[in-house]
Amino acid sequence: MIGKTFSHYKILEKLGEGGMGVVYLAEDSKLERKVAIKFLPRHFATHSDEWERFKIEAKAAAALNHPNIATIHAIEEVNDEIFIVMEYIDGQELKEKISKGPITIEESIKIAIQITEGLNAAHEKDIVHRDIKSSNIMITEKGKVKIMDFGLAKIRGGVQLTKEQSALGTAAYMSPEQARGEPTDHGADIWAFG
Residue that terminates a domain, selected from 34, 59, 87: 87
- Predicted confidence at residue 160, as pLDDT, reads 41
Residues 106 and 155 in one domain: yes
Cα–Cα distances (Å) from 13 to 40, 94, 121, 135, 162, in that order, read 16, 21, 31, 19, 31
For 157-167, write each residue's pLDDT tens digit: 444 444 433 44
Give the count of domains, the chain. Answer: 2
Model pTM score: 0.82
For 69-115, write each residue's pLDDT tens digit: 999 898 888 887 888 899 999 999 999 999 999 999 999 999 999 99
Residue that terminates a domain, selected from 62, 87, 112: 87
What residues contact 194, with CB distance under 8 A and at least 6 apart?
A: none
- Catalytic-residue membership of 131: yes
Residue that terminates a domain, selected from 87, 106, 121: 87
Secondary structure (3-state) at 142: coil
Rounded distance between C-alpha atoms, residue 129 and residue 80, angstroms:
28
Residue by residue, DSSP assigns 80-108 as TEEEEEEE---EEEHHHHHHTS---HHHH
Q: Which of 28, 131, 149, 189 is catalytic?
A: 131
Q: Could you tell me the residue range of the domain that residue 31 belongs to?
A: 5-87
Rounded distance between C-alpha atoms, residue 159 and residue 146, angstroms:
26
